[in-house]
């Protein structure tokens, strides 16, 4: 309780010190964005929910009430690429959160928010049930290195972890703050660090990097909420989609430019969220997918997206089906031996 009070006072202090923000002027011009839109054939986007975290509303919206709470969905986006296998954007909560969140996350983090996760809700288990083999996962794009994105990072040892060098350095420097869990990525050996120095603009954004050089998956500088955040633009066949990362946790943050309670760089976040809004204005078909808002994903779904809502009942039915199939198989093997 004491820790939560300290966070409240920190947010209040930062809010009181804020200078008024000016509305930035974003040139109504699209860079490196051919018209008409041309998507990449064979791309598909899957979305999974690996749990929730209930946090004080003041952390989600700077104008939120201290005693109110807001539930954030911990989503994982999976890009199914015709040439590069499966690309995860975030890895969700670690499976151990389902058993004992306080033991796994520690007192500090569980005092900031109340996580909720069912057994079998981790991304590895859900990929298996969706018939998306984990050995096809080749890349892990990390919007940041905080626990909502790194939970199952080490479950994909053959995949390349992609993060900005700035974010990686911040995670190392802030190890003792409780914002990062280094145990979730200290054994990762295949890193790829993104640097936007000298990069070209994309749409209304100042800089981007083309992950594969084919225009299919584009990484956007989303620093602001954290030191070195990433957003991802996917050129799906019918219409583009932007995976907001920490640029927008919820629809309200994006639609109304509502400041989160804690930001690494308030001015950077403010400018980038208005660039996102201008992008959507100039490209109406753009699907804007907030990072922690399942309802917003459902509302923005296009024909190139597959949503995988988690259901405890369906998980139980799937488990019963597998148990029954195993029993039938064993009975068949036993009968063959008897013959």
* Torsion angle, alpha carbons of 327, 329, 332, 334, to 10: -70
The total number of structural domains in the chain stands at: 1
pLDDT more than 70, % of the chain: 86
Confidence of residue 8 (pLDDT cuts 50, 70, 90): very low
pLDDT digits (tens, 9 = 90+) for 173-190: 875 455 799 999 999 999
Query: 146: how many CB neighbours lie within 10 A of its CB?
Result: 22
On whether residue 101 sits in a domain, the answer given is yes
Query: CA–CA separation, 115 vs 93, rounded Å?
Result: 9
CATH number, domain with residue 57: 3.60.15.10
On whether residue 60 sits in a domain, the answer given is yes
Distance from the Cα of residue 93 to its chain's centroid: 11
- CA triplet 137, 182, 55: central angle to 5 degrees? 90
On whether residue 5 sits in a domain, the answer given is no
Please state the pTM of the whole predicted model. Answer: 0.89
On whether residue 27 sits in a domain, the answer given is no
Over 90: is that where the pLDDT of 323 sits?
A: no
Query: CA–CA separation, 254 vs 289, rounded Å?
Result: 10
pLDDT digits (tens, 9 = 90+) for 92-144: 999 999 999 999 998 888 888 899 999 999 999 999 999 999 999 999 999 99
On whether residue 9 sits in a domain, the answer given is no
Q: How would you write the chain as a 3-class SS string?
A: CHHHHHHHHHHHHHHHHCCCCCCCCCCCCCECCCCCCCCCCCCEEEEEEEEEEEEEHHHHCCCCCCCCEEEEEEEEEEEEECCCEEEEECCCCCHHHHCCHHHHHCHHHHHHCEEECCCCCCHHHHHHHCCCCHHHEEEEECCCCCHHHHCCHHHCCCCEEEEEHHHHHHHHHCHHHCCCCHHHCCCCCCEEEECCCCCEEEECEEEEEECCCCCCEEEEECCCCCCCCEEEEECCCCCCEEECHHHCCCHHHHHCCCCCCCCCCHHHHHHHHHHHHHHHHHCCCCEEECCCCHHHHHHHCCCCEEEECCCHHHHHHHHHHHHHHHHHHHHHHHHHHHC
Of 5-9, 147-151, 252-256, the range with the lowest mean pLDDT is 5-9
Query: CA–CA separation, 219 vs 199, rounded Å?
Result: 11
Q: Write down the pLDDT at residue 326.
A: 62
**Residue 234 belongs to what domain range?**
38-327
On whether residue 47 sits in a domain, the answer given is yes
Q: How far apart are the first and last CA of the chain?
A: 67
On whether residue 333 sits in a domain, the answer given is no
Distance from the Cα of residue 130 to its chain's centroid: 19
On whether residue 121 sits in a domain, the answer given is yes
């Amino acid at each position: 309780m004491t820790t939560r009070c300290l966070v409240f006072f920190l947010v209040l202090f930062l809010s009181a010190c804020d200078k008024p923000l000016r509305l930035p002027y974003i040139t109504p011009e699209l860079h490196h964005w051919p018209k008409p839109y041309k998507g990449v054939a064979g791309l598909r986007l899957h979305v999974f929910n690996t749990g929730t975290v209930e946090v004080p509303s003041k952390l989600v919206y700077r104008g939120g009430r201290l005693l109110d709470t807001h539930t954030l969905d911990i989503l994982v986006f999976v890009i199914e690429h015709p040439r590069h296998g499966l690309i995860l954007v975030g890895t969700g909560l670690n499976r151990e959160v389902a058993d004992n969140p306080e033991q796994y996350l520690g007192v500090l983090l569980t005092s900031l928010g109340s996580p909720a996760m069912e057994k079998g809700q981790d991304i590895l288990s859900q990929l298996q049930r969706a018939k998306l083999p984990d050995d096809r996962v080749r890349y892990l794009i990390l919007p940041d290195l905080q626990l909502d994105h790194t939970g199952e990072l080490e479950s994909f040892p053959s995949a390349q972890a992609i993060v900005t060098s700035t974010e990686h350095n911040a995670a190392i420097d802030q190890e003792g703050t409780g914002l990062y869990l280094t145990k979730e990525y200290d054994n990762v050996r295949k890193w790829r660090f993104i640097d936007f120095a000298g990069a070209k603009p994309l749409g209304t954004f100042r800089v981007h990097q083309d992950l594969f050089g084919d225009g299919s998956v584009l990484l956007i500088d989303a620093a602001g909420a954290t030191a070195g955040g990433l957003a991802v633009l996917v050129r799906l066949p019918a219409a583009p989609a932007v995976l907001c990362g920490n640029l927008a946790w919820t629809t309200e943050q994006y639609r109304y430019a509502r400041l989160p309670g804690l930001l690494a760089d308030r001015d950077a976040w403010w400018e980038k969220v208005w660039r996102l809004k201008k992008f959507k204005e100039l490209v109406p078909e753009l699907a804007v997918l907030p990072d922690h808002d399942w309802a917003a994903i459902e509302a923005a779904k296009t024909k190139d997206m597959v949503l995988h809502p988690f259901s405890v009942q369906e998980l139980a039915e799937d488990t019963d089906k597998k148990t029954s199939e195993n029993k039938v198989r064993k009975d068949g093997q036993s009968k063959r031996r008897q013959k």
